[in-house]
């Protein structure tokens, strides 16, 4: 097949996306596909665009860039764009994607994961991997996700969403449950997330979170073990436990080698394993996800489970969780990437 792997973009997770895309493109090439690795924002910045030749030559916009300890400077990246416009799709992106049999979305955060790109591709007749526009949009907003979890009886920490104006009108000051977690409502990779113990720290954390978005979710802090569960084609993968060596599972601990211990399959009794996997599938279905996704959970000392959020385009880097979970049941990385393509194509053949 001709496959475009879309990566990059303009979210705070740009570096993670580029690393995911590089690895996915390599895997799909090893599986015999003709692959173009394309930056969705920069596009192909040449006046002439021989699309067929790009697939034959395996066009690749990057040279194995890694995830840095600091989030990328998005203003600087925007300034590098040749046409200087603010449109999301770069030069020739639509043309190249329409030529492909399917686009593998290796995008994370913002417009790659929030349903806007999925809806655009639906209108353009471009096939893509992962969930459709509705599931993507719903799962991207942690506040809406929490409401759906509650509606379907899925355990989740108590929480409240605040908008920028709530800092001025005093609504934020009404929160009085500590410790708590402050996080941008639609962000990923734990960018802008803080665990706070008191009112002073809370005010500072809210200001920091609002620097990334205009809506912030605050929820009770649940002390417990952290787990993540991939779901592929409606079936749960083995559970992985996440154990940061210091602090919590933040941006650095997620993507810098040696910062976090990950145990898969997680050491749990059979009943707890089945419970968590069932809750993951229940959350996946409640959010109307397609093809694959990942649900993050906490398990407290009483055995109560708390669903935190869903990831509709989970990371596919060497440190990512779904590839580790798949490997635990004998699915190697290259096969996993090919499997995601084939499962995603099923919705177009219905």
Is residue 240 within 8 A of residue 321, CB to CB? The reply is yes
Pairing, β 2-7 against β 159-163: unpaired
- Specify the pLDDT at position 260: 80
Give the pLDDT of the chain (350 residues) as one tens digit per residue.
Answer: 999 999 999 888 888 899 999 999 999 999 999 999 999 999 999 999 999 999 999 999 985 555 555 677 888 888 889 998 989 999 999 999 999 999 999 999 878 999 999 999 999 999 999 999 999 999 999 999 999 999 999 999 999 999 888 877 888 888 988 999 998 887 655 667 889 999 888 989 998 888 888 889 999 999 999 999 999 999 999 999 999 876 554 444 444 456 689 999 999 999 999 999 999 999 999 999 999 999 999 999 999 999 999 999 999 987 789 999 999 999 999 999 999 999 999 989 85
Look at strands 194-196 and 159-163 and give their pairing.
unpaired
Confidence at residue 252, expressed as pLDDT on a 0 to 100 scale? 45
Q: Which of 253, 257, 262 is nearest to 323 (CA)?
A: 262
pLDDT at 68: 54
Three-state secondary structure readout of the chain: CEEEEEECCCCCCHHHHHHHHHHHHHHHHHCCCEEEEEECCCECCCCCCCHHHHHHHCCECCCCCCCCCCCCCHHHHHHCCCCCCCCCCCECHHHHHHHCCEEEECCCCHHHHCCHHHHHHHHHCCCECCCCHHHHHHHHCHHHHHHHHHHCCCCCCCEEEEECCHHHHCCHHHCCCCCEEEEECCCCCCCCCEEECCHHHHHHHHHHHHCCCCEEEEEECCCCEEEEEEEECCEECCCEEEEECCCCCCHHHHHCCCCEEEECCCCCCHHHHHHHHHHHHHHHHHCCCCCEEEEEEEECCCCCEEEEEEECCCCCCCCCHHHHHHHCCCCCHHHHHHHHHHHHHHCCCC
What domains are defined for the chain? Answer: 2-128 (3.40.50.20), 139-155+223-346 (3.30.470.20), 159-220 (3.30.1490.20)
| Nearest CA-CA partner of 296 in 119, 154, 112 | 154
Write down the pLDDT at residue 253.
42
- What does the pLDDT read at residue 251? 45
Crossing angle for the helix pair 270-286 and 142-151, to the nearest 10 degrees:
110
**Residue where the block lists tokens 């941006």:** 251
At 176 the pLDDT is 86
Phi, psi of 205 (to 5 degrees): -65, -40
Q: In the chain, what is the greatest distance between 2 CA atoms, to the nearest angstrom?
A: 63
- Decide if 165 contacts 216 (C-beta within 8 A): no
Integer-rounded Cα radius of gyration of the chain = 20
What's the pTM? 0.88
């Amino acid at each position: 097949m001709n496959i475009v792997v879309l990566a990059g973009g303009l979210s705070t997770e740009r570096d993670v996306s580029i690393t995911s895309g590089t690895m996915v493109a390599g895997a799909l090439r090893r599986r015999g596909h003709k692959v173009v690795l394309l930056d969705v924002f920069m596009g192909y910045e040449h006046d002439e665009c021989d699309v067929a030749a790009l697939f034959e030559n395996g066009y690749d916009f990057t040279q194995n860039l890694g995830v840095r300890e600091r989030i990328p400077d998005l203003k600087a990246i925007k300034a590098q764009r040749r046409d200087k416009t603010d449109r999301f799709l770069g030069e020739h992106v639509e043309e190249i994607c329409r030529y492909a049999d399917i686009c593998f979305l290796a995008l994370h955060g913002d417009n790659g994961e929030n349903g806007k790109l999925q809806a655009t591709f639906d209108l353009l007749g471009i096939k893509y991997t992962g969930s459709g526009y509705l599931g993507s949009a719903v799962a991207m907003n942690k506040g809406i996700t929490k409401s759906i979890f509650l509606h379907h009886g899925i355990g989740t920490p108590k929480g409240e969403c605040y908008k920028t104006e709530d800092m001025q009108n005093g609504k934020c000051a009404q929160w009085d449950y500590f410790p708590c977690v402050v996080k941008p409502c639609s962000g990923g990779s734990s960018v802008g997330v803080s665990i706070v113990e008191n009112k002073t720290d809370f005010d500072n954390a809210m200001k920091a979170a609002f620097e990334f978005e205009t809506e912030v979710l605050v929820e009770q802090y649940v002390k417990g073990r952290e787990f993540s569960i991939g779901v592929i084609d409606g079936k749960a993968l083995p559970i992985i436990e996440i154990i940061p060596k210091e602090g919590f599972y933040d941006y650095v601990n997620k993507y810098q080698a040696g910062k976090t211990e990950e145990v898969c399959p997680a050491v749990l009794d059979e009943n707890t394993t089945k419970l968590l996997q069932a809750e993951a599938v229940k959350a996946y279905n409640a959010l109307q996800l397609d093809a694959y996704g990942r649900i993050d959970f906490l398990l407290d000392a009483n055995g109560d489970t708390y669903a935190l959020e869903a990831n509709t385009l989970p990371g596919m880097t060497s440190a990512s969780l779904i590839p580790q979970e798949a490997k635990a049941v004998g699915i190697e990385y290259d096969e996993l990437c090919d499997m995601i393509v084939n499962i995603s194509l099923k919705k177009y053949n219905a």
